[in-house]
Amino acid sequence: MLSLRLKAIASFLNPTDKVADIGADHGYLGIYVTQNKLVDSIILTDIKETALQSARKNVAKAKLDIPLIVTDGLKELDTENLNTLVISGMGTSTILHILSNQEKIKPIKKLILQSNNDLEILRRRVTSLGYNLIDEKTVFDKGFWYIVCLFVKNSDNILDEEIIKYGILKKDKIPYYDYLLKKNKTILNNIQKENPNSKTIKILEREQKDLENLLEKSGRI
């Protein structure tokens, strides 16, 4: 069964997408979207042949004809025949390194990104590359929160600072914001006890107010 995280990624794909799944891991996303005819085509990639072995076995077991390519990011990929990239399960610095290949991303109209950290940096930097964040999906899967971001090139959406920092406000984010609020409160209480003069307290108090406002706004959407 496909994980909630991968289902969220798949939900942003459509039948006209020509996709490369960068760092495809077990290949489950590619198998799922191919079997269900959710995309025009998909290529599975990973940085080493050993990393692709599991995907090769799973694709063969499913009796599907899905190309698998060993490549460091986009280096060995012919992106002229693609319009969509999926990059998930990595840190923001790795994702941004992959996207720094300007020539390779020129034909790419859609980016589906799921980073394990530094979402604020991800949103800001990807926006600076000429893509705009038009949607996000938030899922709690196997004990972890995941935010899946959908960026589209040359769309009219302009991000404000609140969205860059906290993402697009949606009702499905309420449990996630609540989680962040509780986490922030715990950290704030600990610092107030251990180091009441810390400058971090004011920063955390400001974030506390921001999160409370987001929860209120999200509930009204």
Instruction: Report the alpha-carbon distance of residue 29 to residue 66 in Å, rounded.
Output: 11
pLDDT band at 221 (very low <50, low <70, confident <90, very high): low
Calculate the CA 75 to chain-centre distance: 21
Instruction: Report the alpha-carbon distance of residue 200 to residue 69 in Å, rounded.
Output: 46
pLDDT band at 155 (very low <50, low <70, confident <90, very high): low
pLDDT of residue 218: 74
Residue 168 lies in a domain: no
Give buried/exposed letters for 96-131 (b at 16+ CB in 10 A, else e): bebbeeeebbeebbbbbbbbeeebeebbebbbeeeb
The number of domains in the chain is 2
pLDDT of residue 84: 98
Q: Are 128 and 48 found together in one domain? A: yes
The DSSP 8-state label assigned to residue 39 in this structure reads: S
pLDDT of residue 64: 96
Q: Are 17 and 76 found together in one domain? A: yes
Q: What is the largest CA-CA distance in the chain?
A: 63
Q: Are 50 and 154 found together in one domain? A: yes
Boundary-marking domain end, from 113, 138, 162: 162
Residue 112 lies in a domain: yes
Boundary-marking domain end, from 162, 183, 202: 162
Boundary-marking domain end, from 125, 143, 162: 162
Q: Answer yes or no: is pLDDT of 157 > 70.
A: no
**Beta bridge partner(s), residue 147:** 138
Q: What is the CATH number of the domain that holds 110?
A: 3.40.50.150
**Token pair for 3:** 């994980």
The mean of the pLDDT values for the chain is 92
Q: Are 113 and 189 found together in one domain? A: no
Where is pLDDT greater, at 159 or 178? Answer: 178
What is the mean predicted confidence (pLDDT) over 157-163?
A: 79
pLDDT, tens only, 195-213: 888 888 888 889 899 888 8
Predicted model pTM: 0.92
Residue 91: what are its φ and ψ, rounded to 5°? -80, 160
Domain that holds residue 178: 173-220
Q: Are 117 and 34 found together in one domain? A: yes
H or E segment to which residue 44 belongs: strand 41-46
Instruction: Report the alpha-carbon distance of residue 188 to residue 205 in Å, rounded.
Output: 8
Alpha helices in 65-199, H assignment, sequence order? 92-99, 102-105, 119-128, 161-166, 174-194
Q: Could you count the other beta carbons within 10 Å of the beta carbon of residue 69?
A: 15
Q: Are 120 and 25 found together in one domain? A: yes
Q: Are 73 and 131 found together in one domain? A: yes
pLDDT, tens only, 12-62: 999 999 999 999 999 999 999 999 999 999 999 999 999 899 999 999 999
Residue 208 lies in a domain: yes
Percent helix, strand and coil across the chain, each rounded to 5?
Answer: 45, 20, 30
pLDDT of residue 220: 59
